[in-house]
């Protein structure tokens, strides 16, 4: 047999790998850090003079941000200051041309950006007032959209030189055009975003719905080097022009016909980024299709031969003999498909649980028992377990409870799971006499996020748990978390279309995302929402029903009390009193921000689980350091 394709395929795979690798290592402009405050030096490697002309085009549409502050708080004043078009400003900010912005409102300013020598810039001009100096002009009037170094470079003056009153100064504003590397992943615009004192890369990427890694790379930052300073410009890579409705996009219409394709691919960049992966998997898939076909052929052949034996075994061992044919085939497929899942005899489980005595009852229909010399949890299930078993066979992760075996007796299924000795998380956060300290809580949150990320991104097809809540998180002897109860879990539609619709709403009240309750939309963002609720319970020590009762208006109000207004006092009221203030306030605020982003009404603006896991991992390592230095033990 001849294989005409493999050689070209292999070349394609190699090319794909090379392109994947390189496109993931690009970086665009060096972040300015604190260089803007050092007016005397002109660091060569820094973007203090401007962003370098390294883009695909020498000129492009770009965006600046500006915070409205009197006297620059109207469309007219801002467009004058930044030499922008007032009608463009009023349009993109959805305000009329004669309107005045509220103080500190973030205003988007469209500009034409072009290369001037080595640097991109857009030119504004400014008439100097008495006592103006380069630094104050750059930092206060222009809020960081230019630098003292760049101003001095335009006039040829050393930056310390006094500016004459009435003098016209040409002001180069910092803008940039996307590089080839960026347009390749779908980025069309770069926005020079002015950082605030409480900004970090996570907050910014969530705010503008931008992939966090893409944001970091655009500024030559990384997970290890991601400090952001206030009053600087950071480049936000955008697929579409910015808009102030970014975070309050309307929900998909409930009239959406069930067959229509889902709202097209979510946050700006991730899907484009995945294109290469699909290509890669596609080509590998093609290569192995033949091999796979052969394997399947032999498996089926083998299975059909083997079935006659196992039917005999089953019939003799089952007194009732009432097992349906499909069930038996299913049982066969379990024992065939994997060596790791054991078929237990009912007597064995009877012995293990003292005849399912109440002394061994954990709760509901779950019993504790020693099976094969190991403590296990045995759950009796009436009804269809095939989905759960099929999923459990696919997963193998420390943070997902594992199924070791099954048993079928008289139409009842018994599932034998790994045992988690400290029981459900709900016992630990809501009951008196039990207590988890800050680091334990963060470790658990990180564990759950990691488990969910595995479920969302590393099972094929991707799965949604659909019932994340504190009683479905179990703690082992080291207080490491394991997600359990995959009874409601289901596959999301494969690949791009992450959404599917259902008429059958299941789950637990309080944890259900609005788009699911209202429109039956199922996506991994459902778990992200529930995770936000869980995280909130863990921090406040209050059950979701209590949280809803306390905040008659809405839970987001309770969050914004911490994030926007009341600072330390707001945080103190939010946090579980049992912790007695023993938590690092800075990181706690960070977690509140994660909760806030998980509970966003629009599922597309909720961050993906991998990002959440990544941030919790950072908070965890910082918390461990904090714990050591504060001598707070568990
Ligand atoms: C784009 O990516 C290539 C390959 O990694 C890199 O050599 C190049 O410097 C990048 N371009 C820019 C402008 O960052
Ligand atoms: C670059 O220029 C080309 C041709 O003028 C234009 O089609 C394209 O949209 C530009 N790209 C960007 C990112 O501005
Ligand atoms: C930018 O360029 C476009 C066309 O090239 C022009 O219509 C627009 O007025 C320019 N904007 C500014 C602020 O100069
Ligand atoms: C703004 O302009 C519109 C017409 O363009 C006018 O109707 C409106 O009264 C003006 N508002 C203010 C506050 O001047
Ligand atoms: C901005 O001013 C510089 C001179 O400092 C000039 O070279 C450049 O062409 C101007 N850019 C635009 C877009 O007018
Ligand atoms: C820069 O300006 C901001 C306000 O825009 C101000 O809060 C900050 O103190 C200024 N930085 C310096 C170093 O003066
Ligand atoms: C402005 O910066 C460029 C690039 O570093 C340099 O070549 C030029 O001499 C500077 N101009 C002035 C007037 O300082």
Return the residue whose CA atom lies nearest to atom 8 of ligand 7: 153
What pLDDT score does 487 carry? 83
Report CA(116)–ligand 5 centroid distance (Å). Answer: 6
> Does 154 or 23 have the greater pLDDT score?
154
Q: 436 with 407, same domain? A: no
Q: State the average pLDDT for the chain.
A: 78
pLDDT, mean of residues 131-135? 87
Residues 6 or more apart from 365 whose CB is under 8 A from it? 379, 380, 381
Nearest ligand to the CA atom of 144: 6
Q: Using a 6 Å cutoff on CB, does residue 60 contact ligand 2?
A: yes
What pLDDT score does 484 carry? 93
What pLDDT score does 500 carry? 67
Return the residue whose CA atom lies nearest to atom 10 of ligand 2: 57
Q: 225 with 320, same domain? A: no
User: Is beta strand 59-67 parallel, antiparallel or unpaired with respect to 189-194?
Assistant: parallel
Q: 525 with 443, same domain? A: yes
Q: 73 with 98, same domain? A: yes
What pLDDT score does 236 carry? 95
Mutate to test the pocket of ligand 1, among 26, 179, 218 (most ligand atoms within 8 A of CB): 26
- Whether residue 171 lies inside any domain: the answer is yes
The residue among 250, 267, 294 that closes a domain is 250
Return the residue whose CA atom lies nearest to atom 7 of ligand 5: 116
The residue among 389, 418, 447 that closes a domain is 418
> Does 134 or 156 have the greater pLDDT score?
134
- Whether residue 624 lies inside any domain: the answer is yes
Q: CB atoms < 10 A from the CB of 182, how many?
A: 25
pLDDT, mean of residues 506-524? 84
Atom of ligand 1 minimally distant from the CA of 55: 13
The region, left, alpha or beta by phi > 0 then psi within -120 to 50, assigned to residue 472 is alpha
- Whether residue 390 lies inside any domain: the answer is yes
Name 352's bridge partners: none
pLDDT at 454 over 50: yes
Name the pLDDT band for 69 (thresholds 50, 70, 90): very high
Q: Using a 6 Å cutoff on CB, does residue 175 contact ligand 2?
A: no
Mutate to test the pocket of ligand 6, among 137, 140, 196, 233 (most ligand atoms within 8 A of CB): 140
pLDDT at 199 over 50: yes
467 catalytic residue (yes or no) = yes
What pLDDT score does 11 carry? 39
Q: 183 with 201, same domain? A: yes
pLDDT, mean of residues 561-588? 84
Q: 366 with 473, same domain? A: no
What pLDDT score does 198 carry? 80
Q: Using a 6 Å cutoff on CB, does residue 155 contact ligand 5?
A: no
What pLDDT score does 253 carry? 29
Q: 350 with 463, same domain? A: no
What pLDDT score does 143 carry? 96
Inter-residue long-range contacts of 184-188, CB under 8 Å, 24+ positions, other chains counted? 184/23, 185/23, 185/214, 185/269, 185/272, 185/273, 186/239, 186/268, 186/269, 186/272, 187/214, 187/218, 187/237, 187/238, 187/239, 187/268, 187/269, 188/238, 188/239, 188/240
> Does 391 or 330 have the greater pLDDT score?
391
State the Cα–Cα distance between residues 123 and 82, nearest whole angstrom: 8
Mutate to test the pocket of ligand 4, among 91, 96, 97, 101 (most ligand atoms within 8 A of CB): 96
pLDDT at 556 over 80: no
Closest alpha carbon to 150 in 164, 166, 137, 167: 137
pLDDT, mean of residues 499-526? 81
Report CA(138)–ligand 6 centroid distance (Å). Answer: 10
Cis amide bond preceding 461, omega within 30: yes
Atom of ligand 7 minimally distant from the CA of 155: 13
Residues 6 or more apart from 210 whose CB is under 8 A from it? 204, 236, 237, 238, 267, 268, 269
What pLDDT score does 554 carry? 67
Q: Using a 6 Å cutoff on CB, does residue 59 contact ligand 2?
A: no
State the Cα–Cα distance between residues 474 and 532, nearest whole angstrom: 17
For residue 509, give the 3-state DSSP assignment: coil
Q: Is 342 exposed, middle or buried (0-12, 13-18, 19+ CB in 10 A)?
A: middle
Number of domains composing the chain:
3
What pLDDT score does 387 carry? 82
pLDDT, mean of residues 64-91? 95
What pLDDT score does 291 carry? 38
- Whether residue 299 lies inside any domain: the answer is no
pLDDT, mean of residues 217-227? 85
Atom of ligand 4 minimally distant from the CA of 100: 13
Percent of the chain residues topping a pLDDT of 90: 40
Report CA(67)–ligand 2 centroid distance (Å). Answer: 29
What pLDDT score does 40 carry? 79
pLDDT, mean of residues 213-229? 87
- Tokens representing 535? 């995280």
Q: CB atoms < 10 A from the CB of 309, how many?
A: 10
- Please report, for the domain that includes residue 557, its CATH number: 1.10.510.10
Name the pLDDT band for 493 (thresholds 50, 70, 90): low
Report CA(244)–ligand 3 centroid distance (Å). Answer: 21
Can you give the pTM of this predicted structure? Answer: 0.52
Query: Residues near ligand 1 with C-beta < 6 Å?
Result: 22, 25-28, 54, 179, 181
Range of the domain at 235: 7-250
Q: Using a 6 Å cutoff on CB, does residue 471 contact ligand 5?
A: no
What pLDDT score does 568 carry? 78
Name which of 56-70, 435-449, 490-504 the model is least confident about.
Answer: 490-504
pLDDT for 174-192, tens place per residue? 999 999 999 998 899 999 9
What pLDDT score does 277 carry? 37
pLDDT for 593-617, tens place per residue? 899 999 998 999 999 999 999 889 9
State the Cα–Cα distance between residues 146 and 192, nearest whole angstrom: 11
- Whether residue 610 lies inside any domain: the answer is yes
User: Is beta strand 168-173 parallel, antiparallel or unpaired with respect to 119-127?
Assistant: antiparallel
The residue among 220, 250, 280 that closes a domain is 250
Name the pLDDT band for 433 (thresholds 50, 70, 90): confident
Name 116's bridge partners: 119
Q: Annotated catalytic residue: which of 467, 527, 576, 596?
A: 467
Q: 446 with 383, same domain? A: no
What pLDDT score does 293 carry? 38
Report CA(112)–ligand 2 centroid distance (Å). Answer: 13
Atom of ligand 6 minimally distant from the CA of 67: 5
Atom of ligand 4 minimally distant from the CA of 98: 1
Q: CB atoms < 10 A from the CB of 481, how many?
A: 26
Q: 615 with 517, same domain? A: yes
Angle in degrees, 0-180, between the axes of helices 6-23 and 270-317, rounded to the nearest 10: 120
Name the pLDDT band for 279 (thresholds 50, 70, 90): very low
- Please report, for the domain that includes residue 364, its CATH number: 3.30.200.20
pLDDT at 437 over 90: yes
Atom of ligand 3 minimally distant from the CA of 111: 13
Q: 498 with 407, same domain? A: no
Report CA(110)–ligand 5 centroid distance (Å). Answer: 17
What pLDDT score does 386 carry? 83
Q: Using a 6 Å cutoff on CB, does residue 85 contact ligand 3?
A: yes
pLDDT at 281 over 60: no
pLDDT, mean of residues 569-577? 88
What pLDDT score does 509 carry? 77
pLDDT for 333-376, tens place per residue? 665 555 568 889 899 999 899 888 888 888 888 899 999 888 99
Q: 93 with 112, same domain? A: yes
Q: 477 with 405, same domain? A: no
Give phi and psi for 111, each to the nearest 5.
-140, 160
Atom of ligand 1 minimally distant from the CA of 28: 14
Mutate to test the pocket of ligand 3, among 60, 66, 85 (most ligand atoms within 8 A of CB): 85
pLDDT at 86 over 80: yes
The rounded Cα 540 to chain-centroid distance in angstroms is 22
Report CA(453)–ligand 2 centroid distance (Å). Answer: 37
- Whether residue 263 lies inside any domain: the answer is no
Query: Residues near ligand 7 with C-beta < 6 Å?
Result: 49, 118, 153, 156
pLDDT at 160 over 80: no
What pLDDT score does 50 carry? 93
Report CA(216)–ligand 1 centroid distance (Å). Answer: 15
- Whether residue 437 lies inside any domain: the answer is yes
Nearest ligand to the CA atom of 98: 4
Report CA(234)–ligand 7 centroid distance (Å). Answer: 23
Question: SS3 sequence, 264-283?
Answer: CCCCCCHHHHHHHHHHHHHH
Tokens 């100064």 -> residue: 169
- Whether residue 30 lies inside any domain: the answer is yes
pLDDT at 478 over 60: yes
Highest averaged pLDDT of the listed ranges 25-39, 154-168, 383-397, 561-575: 383-397
């Amino acid at each position: 047999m001849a294989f005409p394709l493999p050689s070209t395929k292999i070349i394609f795979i190699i090319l794909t790998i090379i392109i994947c690798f390189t496109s993931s290592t690009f970086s665009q402009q060096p972040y300015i850090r604190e260089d803007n405050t050092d007016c005397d030096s002109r660091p060569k490697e820094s973007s203090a003079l401007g962003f370098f002309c390294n883009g695909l085009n020498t000129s492009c549409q770009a965006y600046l941000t500006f915070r409205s502050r009197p006297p620059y708080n109207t469309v007219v004043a801002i467009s004058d200051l930044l030499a922008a078009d007032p009608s463009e400003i009023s349009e993109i900010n959805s305000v009329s041309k004669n309107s005045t912005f509220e103080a500190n409102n973030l205003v988007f300013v469209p500009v034409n950006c072009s290369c001037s020598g080595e640097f991109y810039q857009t030119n504004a001009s400014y008439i100097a007032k008495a006592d103006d100096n380069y630094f104050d002009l750059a930092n206060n009037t222009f809020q960081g959209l230019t630098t003292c170094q760049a101003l001095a470079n335009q006039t040829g003056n050393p930056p310390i030189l006094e500016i004459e009153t009435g003098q016209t100064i040409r002001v180069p504003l910092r803008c940039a055009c996307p590089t080839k590397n960026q347009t390749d992943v779908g980025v069309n615009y770069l926005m020079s975003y002015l950082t605030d004192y409480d900004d970090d890369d996570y907050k910014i990427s969530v705010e503008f719905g931008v992939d966090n890694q893409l944001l970091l790379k655009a500024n030559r930052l990384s997970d290890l080097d991601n400090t952001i300073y206030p009053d600087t410009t950071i480049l936000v890579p955008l697929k579409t022009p910015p808009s102030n409705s970014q975070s309050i996009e309307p929900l998909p219409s409930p009239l959406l016909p069930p067959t229509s394709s889902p709202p097209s691919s979510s946050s700006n960049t991730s899907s484009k980024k995945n294109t290469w992966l699909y290509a890669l998997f596609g080509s590998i898939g093609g290569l192995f299709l033949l091999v796979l076909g052969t394997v399947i052929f032999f498996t089926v052949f083998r299975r059909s031969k083997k079935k006659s034996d196992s039917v005999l075994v089953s019939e003799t061992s089952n007194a009732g003999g009432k097992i349906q044919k499909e069930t038996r085939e299913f049982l066969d497929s379990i024992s065939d498909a994997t060596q790791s899942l054991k078929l237990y005899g009912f007597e064995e489980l009877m012995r293990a649980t003292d005849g399912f005595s109440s002394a061994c009852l954990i709760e509901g229909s779950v019993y504790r028992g020693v099976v094969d010399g190991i403590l296990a949890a045995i759950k009796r299930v009436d009804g269809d377990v095939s989905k759960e078993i099929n999923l459990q066979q696919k997963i193998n992760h420390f943070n997902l409870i594992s199924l070791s075996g099954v048993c079928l007796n008289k139409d009842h299924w018994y599932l034998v799971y790994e045992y988690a000795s400290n029981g459900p998380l709900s016992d630990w956060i809501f009951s008196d006499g039990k207590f988890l300290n800050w680091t334990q809580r963060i470790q658990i949150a990180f564990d759950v996020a990691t488990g969910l990320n595995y479920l969302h991104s590393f099972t094929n097809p991707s799965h949604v748990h659909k019932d994340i809540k504190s009683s479905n998180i179990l703690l082992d002897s080291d207080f490491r978390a394991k997600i359990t109860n995959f009874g409601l879990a289901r596959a999301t539609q494969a690949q791009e279309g992450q959404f599917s619709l259902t008429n059958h709403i299941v789950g637990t009240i309080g944890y259900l995302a609005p788009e699911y309750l209202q429109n039956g939309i199922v996506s991994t963002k459902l778990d992200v929402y529930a995770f936000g609720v869980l995280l909130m319970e863990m921090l406040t020590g209050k059950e979701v029903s209590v949280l809803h009762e306390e905040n008659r208006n809405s839970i987001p109000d309770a969050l914004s009390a911490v994030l926007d207004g009341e600072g330390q006092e707001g945080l103190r009221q939010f946090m579980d009193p049992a912790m007695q203030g023993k938590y690092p306030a800075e990181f706690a605020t960070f977690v509140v921000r994660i909760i806030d982003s998980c509970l966003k009404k629009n599922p597309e603006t909720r961050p993906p689980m991998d990002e959440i896991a990544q941030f919790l991992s950072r908070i965890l390592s910082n918390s461990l350091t904090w714990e050591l230095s504060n001598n707070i033990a568990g």
